[in-house]
Amino acid sequence: MSVLTLRPGKNNKVHLLLDGAYAMTVDSDFVAFSGLYENMEISDEALISLTREVNARRAFNKASDLLSLRDHSEKELLQKLRQKGYAEGTEEALAKLKDYGYLDDARFASRFAAELQRVKHYGKHRIEQELYRKGVSRDVIQATLEEMTFDESALVSLIERRYARQLDTEQGVARTVAALQRRGYGLREIRDALATLERETKEET
């Protein structure tokens, strides 16, 4: 058994000491919620549980801060927490965030994919790759892509805005095709869009 003593710190913090040696720092709300008190005797098992609970609370607070800046996938958030030194309690923290609805891979995938399509003008294959890199599961990625609309008019408009000046030569067309493939468009849809743009251009002249 160890003896727990409490020492007030700054900004609502409380330092926990075990047998007179510093152990960890928590906030006063945690002390009240956990029922900790001065000169409390605590067993090794209870100390292990307390330490894990403190770590989970810290991880939850850090994860909440990260989510307040932008959405994250579950895997991405877990990796960031571990990179910042949150080793224990992360699973409990993420489970609580999911229960609260703050962490949702399906919602993240939908918003992130829409942004990639709208802002970066990525095609289906590149969006799929980027979602996979964020740690989104194959099932969620597939469901997200099925809900999206990939129409030729958007690709035709992109080619007209970004690449029209280099379509006068075979080399320019080849560079355009390569650039669009890097954006995640398939070869067939690129060729169809180029053909549509050429037809529309001839109709206007």
Task: Give pLDDT, residue 134.
Answer: 95
What residues are paired with 84 via a beta bridge? none
User: Closest by alpha carbon to 2, among 18, 17, 24?
Assistant: 18
CATH architecture type of domain 55-103: Orthogonal Bundle (1.10)
User: Closest by alpha carbon to 50, among 61, 37, 62, 66?
Assistant: 37
For the chain, state the CA radius of gyration.
27
Let me know how many helices (H) and strands (E) the chain has, helices first: 10, 4
User: Closest by alpha carbon to 135, among 191, 73, 192, 57?
Assistant: 73
Task: Give pLDDT, residue 118.
Answer: 95
Long-range pairs, 166-171, Cβ under 8 A, ≥24: 167/194, 167/197
Task: Give pLDDT, residue 78.
Answer: 94
Instruction: For residue 13, give the H/E element and its range.
Output: strand 13-18
- C-alpha pair distances (Å), 71 with each of 6, 65, 99, 174, 189: 37, 11, 16, 37, 31
The tens-digit pLDDT sequence of the chain (205 residues) is 888 888 888 888 888 888 888 888 888 888 887 787 888 888 888 888 888 888 888 899 999 999 999 999 999 999 999 998 888 889 899 999 999 999 999 999 999 999 999 999 999 999 999 999 999 999 999 999 999 999 999 999 999 999 999 998 999 999 999 999 999 999 999 999 999 998 887 776 6
Task: Give pLDDT, residue 205.
Answer: 60
